[in-house]
């Protein structure tokens, strides 16, 4: 296939109907068709692509998600796939005649044209099963954590409306407080139960801590409030319901954390990444889930640029400066930022952070600078297959 004419294919991915377009080296359209997101239609597309006389490179504007089945089918058919980011498609379309007009066939042709003229598009390669499992579980964990945050905020608002003293006395991020609210919410309920029954209820919970101080604080809050707020019975019912949901969510998050830890042990990069200070189970799992195969990054600079933590050069005429990037994988950037912040208990990380603060950097700027430095360390660890050592230069 080395002497075959190159055929560039662009597929505009959608939930129900994809659109495929193919052009030759001169930009002539040789294929233009809609493709339903069904196994039969995708198989038909593969047959049509195979019938094209040339060396095919296929560009997708979406990776994973709604494109997962199409991507898997094309990879199984041994096609070469590349990722054409949606932002690149939009910018390229806007630079064409009639750029404000948008349609699926037009976008597919723009993707194909980007594949034809660009040599720097990232290859799409099949991920290991462990990486896919990590991606699915970290996404589910993120959903549970966000839902839990909303749930606890709602509980604070409801409890503060009918029993403000108890709302101030409880830490709803603890299992003990949530377990208390599955039974006792209003001042009347606590008055009626008394210390003995409240403690009896708390002792039924598994693994609860400091239950006696919790019971005393709840009863003291109830003692201070002598009126019943209208609607408190229904509000208390909702709070008890939310408390049970919050306890179930806590258990599921813990279960996912154990699953992530087991997957990290099986992943070839998991133990190495986790050895870096600040990279616990969750940060390691999210880093692998977002980055995929780290071998696709040719250098630490490339990894930092992909995460959006490498300064961007702006130059025009005699003006030349660097600014923070607005692009990159924001989820990966958050992982590196949070891990850098978590590493501040490490002496070397703290020394680097303090030096940046002494240079006039804000807290956020200093942590981003630390995250950028840690990317160098991480890439050296993965490149040399060595765990973290206190002096990163030994690993580089």
Q: Choose among 256, 264, 260: nearest CA to 144.
A: 256
Phi/psi of residue 312, nearest 5 degrees: -110, 130
pLDDT at 393 over 70: no
Rounded average pLDDT over 289-307: 88
Q: Choose among 107, 104, 49, 110: nearest CA to 76.
A: 49
Q: DSSP per residue over 82-129, as a string?
A: EE--HHHHHHHHHTSTTTT---HHHHHHHHHHHHHH-S-PEEE-PPPH
Residues 6+ apart with CB under 8 A from 180: 170, 198, 201, 202, 214, 215, 218
* Confidence bin at 3 (pLDDT 50/70/90): low
- Asked if 61 and 7 count as a contact pair (C-beta separation under 8 A), the reply is no
Q: Where are the domains of the chain?
A: 6-126, 132-263, 270-314+329-394
pLDDT at 2 over 70: no
d(CA 198, CA 166): 14
CATH fold group of domain 6-126: Nucleotidyltransferase; domain 5 (3.30.420)
Tell me the whole-structure pTM to 2 decimals: 0.81
Which tens digits make up the pLDDT trace of 153-178?
999 999 999 999 999 999 999 999 99
Residues 6+ apart with CB under 8 A from 36: 16, 17, 18
Which tens digits make up the pLDDT trace of 77-132?
999 999 998 888 888 888 777 767 889 999 999 999 999 999 888 888 887 889 99
Whole-number percent of the chain with pLDDT over 90: 71
d(CA 46, CA 194): 72
């Amino acid at each position: 296939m080395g002497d075959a004419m190159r055929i560039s294919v662009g597929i505009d991915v959608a939930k129900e109907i994809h659109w495929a377009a193919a052009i030759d080296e001169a930009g002539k359209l040789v294929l233009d068709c809609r493709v339903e997101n069904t196994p039969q239609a995708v198989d038909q597309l593969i047959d049509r692509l195979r019938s094209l006389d040339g060396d095919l490179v296929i560009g997708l504007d979406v990776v994973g998600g709604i494109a997962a089945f199409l991507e898997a089918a094309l990879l199984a058919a041994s096609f070469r796939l590349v990722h054409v980011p949606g932002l690149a498609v939009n910018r390229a379309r806007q630079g064409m005649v009639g750029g404000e007009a948008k349609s699926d066939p037009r976008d597919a042709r723009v993707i194909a044209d980007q594949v034809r003229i660009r040599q720097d598009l990232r290859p799409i390669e099949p991920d290991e099963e462990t990486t896919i499992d990590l991606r699915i579980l970290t996404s589910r964990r993120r959903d549970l954590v966000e839902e839990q945050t909303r749930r606890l905020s709602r509980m604070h608002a409801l409890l503060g409306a009918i029993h403000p003293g108890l709302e101030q006395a409880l830490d709803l991020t603890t299992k003990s407080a949530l377990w208390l609210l599955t039974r006792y919410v209003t001042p009347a309920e606590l008055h009626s139960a008394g210390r003995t029954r409240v403690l009896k209820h708390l002792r039924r919970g598994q693994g609860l801590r400091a239950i006696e101080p919790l019971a005393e604080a709840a009863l003291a809050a109830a003692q201070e409030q002598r009126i019943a707020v209208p609607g408190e019975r229904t509000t208390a019912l909702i709070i008890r319901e939310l408390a049970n949901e919050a306890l179930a969510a806590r258990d599921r998050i813990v279960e996912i954390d154990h699953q992530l830890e087991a997957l990290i042990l099986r992943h070839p990069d998991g133990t190495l990444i986790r050895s870096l200070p600040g990279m616990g189970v969750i940060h390691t799992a999210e880093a692998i889930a977002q980055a995929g195969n780290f071998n696709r990054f040719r250098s630490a600079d490339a990894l930092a640029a992909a995460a959006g933590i490498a300064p961007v050069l702006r130059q025009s005429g005699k003006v030349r400066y660097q600014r923070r990037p607005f692009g990159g994988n924001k989820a990966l950037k958050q992982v590196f930022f949070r891990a850098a912040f978590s590493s501040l208990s490490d002496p070397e990380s703290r020394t680097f952070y303090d030096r940046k603060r002494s240079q006039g950097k804000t807290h956020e700027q200093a942590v981003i600078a630390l995250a950028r430095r840690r990317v160098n360390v991480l890439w050296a660890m993965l490149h040399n297959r060595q765990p973290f050592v206190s002096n990163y230069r030994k690993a580089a």
